[in-house]
A and B are shown apart, each in its own frame.
Chain A
């Protein structure tokens, strides 16, 4: 019931987007802009194609590894920087700078270091996803109300107990917010990596389709990716909501 309410509005917006798309398609009449229907049909074709699933598997494998690694590393790094106030203050502008750097331009360097193959894509995904999570975690700890730790102290908790049962749950909402951004950017990083230099994965598939002018495939894949991102985001949101009442 409640889930319905959360989903209905966005669905209407998406529907409106599709209508606008169709109108645009009719308006410009260009072979590079297929209609939504064509795209959906192509999506159906793709979903029934085992090679598509192989490519998607490649992408999501890289994506999953990148997400796991960047989440673990981001939270750890964020916690470390957050606990050591000075370290956090030293690191923050550097991290923000790295975050606002167009990372594609560093891709040649990544290729030179990691070579081809999946490790470069994973590395690229991590480059995109790690920093937001680190920043959010760090700021969450810096902004943590000191009274929580003091409460833990007067209740006689050990520092380990404090970390696990007070600090972590207290920063979780911000960590989830950071993870939502991080996961999205991780996926983007992996895809860009695949688009630029790779022989498989959805990003490669898109580049390949672009080169052949196969726009229905390009848009179908883009849509599928958007759906996956939305679902991942929705799950994280639901996780966040489930943890606290309205």
Chain B
């Protein structure tokens, strides 16, 4: 079977799937995942999974909410990641910008309006009591473009994400690491269609269980996980090692269990960028019943 994972190959969201595939954990759980459909992210992943035979996917929470808002029949069956530790804001080494406070009256490169990079920036500004309206946000279309603008002096700071931030660690200075200023929040979730869940509960459970085992395996042996991820994502082993190690501390990957406060924190962020206008009624969206029994209780 093929399942969809957002940012597959570029972001560490997908590490548990890589490990579970390489270690045969999916097979052990009772499903044969042969490959992963990757995508640039957001709604594309949801579209992709809807178009595929096994409509399960790990997607950004904003995309899952948007899909439901537009009346698509999807449910959230597990959580994926719960940290924003891979994201940061950087500036040039010789820049006078030392903290978020210094950004007032300056331009900051984000990837696209209403995207994750903007959301994190606004959340961090709010957390630190900086007036967001004084920070001009410029959409660059991508992290690399933002860096280019930074180097050209078009912006004072740019959003950045791993593993790019590790690859170019020596070129820029980190202003803020979002994982350090923002508390844990759910960033990606596993979704499927209601119809698929009804028809293939066993398969769905096996996928979730396999992924959960993958998460456990990462925490149990980070070095090995880094090796697997490095190979799958074509990262130099050294960089993969740093990337995975960076995520172990904040416990980036959840085994799948739901935490309402962590979910709501993300929603608060989405409200800041205007993606969401009202509180979310999770009871209609979540279905923990496909999780391993031990994880079914919500926090």
Contact = CB atoms under 8 A, between A and B. Distances in A.
Contact of B168 (A108, A208, A210, A213): A213
A37 B163 CA distance: 25
A213 B163 CA distance: 10
B171 interface: yes
Contacts of A30: 148, 151-152
Contact of B144 (A51, A108, A210): A210
A181 interface: no
Contacts of A112: 47, 51
A143 B52 CA distance: 48
Contact of B147 (A51, A207, A213): A213
B44 interface: yes
Interface residues of B, number: 27
A115 B8 CA distance: 18
A111 interface: yes
Contact of B48 (A197, A208, A210, A212): A197
Interface in B129-162: 142-144, 147-148, 151-152
With most chain B CB atoms within 10 A of its CB, the pick from A112, A196, A207 is A207
Contact of B148 (A32, A51, A115): A32
B51 A199 contact: no
A31 B38 contact: no
Interface string B32-46: 000111111000100
B9 interface: yes
B47 A111 contact: yes
A46 to B, nearest CB: 12
A199 B144 contact: no
Interface in A110-141: 111-112, 115-116
B164 interface: yes
Contacts of A212: 10, 144, 163-164, 167
Contacts of A116: 37, 48, 51-52
Interface string B230-266: 0000100000000000000000000000000000000
A27 to B, nearest CB: 12
A211 B142 contact: yes
Most buried by A among B143, B152, B234: B234
Contacts, number: 59
Given A197-B44, A212-B164, A213-B168, A115 B10 contact: no
Nearest to B234: A51
Contacts of A51: 234
Contact of B10 (A32, A211, A215): A211
B164 A197 contact: no
A116 B8 CA distance: 15
A208 B52 contact: no
Contacts of A197: 39-40, 44, 47-48
Interface string A206-232: 011011110100000000000000000
Interface in A20-38: 30-32
Contacts of B144: 32, 210-213, 215
A207 B40 contact: yes
A29 to B, nearest CB: 9
A206 to B, nearest CB: 12
A57 to B, nearest CB: 16
A31 B37 contact: no
Contacts of B10: 208, 211-212
Nearest to A211: B10
A210 B52 contact: no
Contacts of A108: 47
A108 B50 CA distance: 13
10 nearest A-B pairs in the assembled complex, by CB-CB distance: A213-B144, A115-B51, A32-B148, A199-B38, A211-B10, A30-B151, A199-B37, A213-B164, A212-B164, A116-B48
23 contacts: A30-B152, A31-B148, A31-B168, A32-B144, A32-B151, A108-B47, A111-B47, A111-B51, A115-B51, A116-B51, A116-B52, A197-B39, A197-B48, A199-B35, A199-B38, A199-B39, A207-B40, A208-B10, A211-B143, A212-B167, A213-B143, A213-B144, A215-B144
Given A116-B52, A211-B143, A213-B168, 20 more contacts: A30-B152, A31-B151, A31-B168, A31-B171, A32-B144, A111-B51, A116-B51, A196-B40, A197-B48, A199-B8, A199-B36, A199-B39, A208-B9, A211-B10, A211-B40, A211-B144, A212-B167, A213-B143, A213-B144, A213-B147
Interface of B: 8-10, 35-40, 44, 47-48, 51-52, 142-144, 147-148, 151-152, 163-164, 167-168, 171, 234
